[in-house]
A and B are shown apart, each in its own frame.
Chain A
Amino acid sequence: QVQLQESGPRLVKPSETLSLTCTVSGGSIRSHYWSWIRQPPGKGLEWIGYIYYIGNTNYNPSLKSRVTISVDTSKNQFSLKLSSVTAADAAVYYCARAVAVTGYVFDYWGQGTLVAVSS
């Protein structure tokens, strides 16, 4: 059973960089695509981007200038960096696996981690 677990600071100051890591267990990161998705409190889901284990990435155009997703296959982890955060970036951040069917679907999700933005 594949499991994903987000980790990282729960509080980030405005204008600083949000950094989160997702640890994958029960399966290898050397397959499928791996994504970050966020959900502001009381709002809907927003896709941030994905990475393939060899490093190919794609980002949401609305966040592209501030987002970097990277992968560490030796640790079975992938990471998110979101720069110049504001209050609008406060959200529950999920990591998820995207598996190819017809298109891709997010079949495994982490439990999510709530990140607040405040000085």
Chain B
Amino acid sequence: SYELTQPPSVSVSPGQTASITCSGDKLGEKYACWYQQTPGQSPVLVIYQDNKRPSGIPERFSGSYSENTATLTITGTQPADEADYYCQAWDSSTAVFGGGTKLTVL
């Protein structure tokens, strides 16, 4: 079965840039997207279709691809960005989520 691999945790200082990676075979062909989940809340879509942001998502969230890796970048990270982040893609009409990355803003 298809797998997406994320680092379990990433730490960043307030105001700095956080990068969270998601790796999978031929991921660049599968249009990964990213969700943010704060404790006790439902996931929220933050990036889709390479680098598009839904309405209401701050410009500091961006996405990029390189070969088999998608990267979520948060520029000027704020304490409110501390959350779990999940990448997601489709493979053979099946939705697959990465294991999630806990972003800590120290």
Where the two chains meet, the residues of A that have a C-beta atom closer than 8 Å to any C-beta of B are 35, 37, 44-47, 50, 58, 60-62, 94, 98, 101-107, 109-112
Q: Give Cα A105 to B94, complex, Å.
A: 12
Given A107-B45, A110-B42, A112-B42: A60 and B94 interface contact (C-beta under 8 Å): yes
Q: Give Cα A94 to B45, complex, Å.
A: 14
Closest to A60 in B: B94
Q: Give Cα A16 to B93, complex, Å.
A: 28
Residue with the highest number of chain B CB atoms closer than 10 Å, among A45, A61, A98, A107: A45
Q: Give Cα A94 to B88, complex, Å.
A: 16
Q: Range of interface residues on chain B? A: 20 to 34
Q: Are B31 and A102 in contact (CB under 8 A)?
A: yes
Write the nearest CB–CB distance from B55 to chain A, whole angstroms: 10
Closest to B50 in A: A102
Q: Are A62 and B42 in contact (CB under 8 A)?
A: no
Binary A-proximity of B62-80 (CB < 8 A = 1, otherwise 0) = 0000000000000000000
Q: Which residues of A contact B1 (CB under 8 A)?
A: 61-62
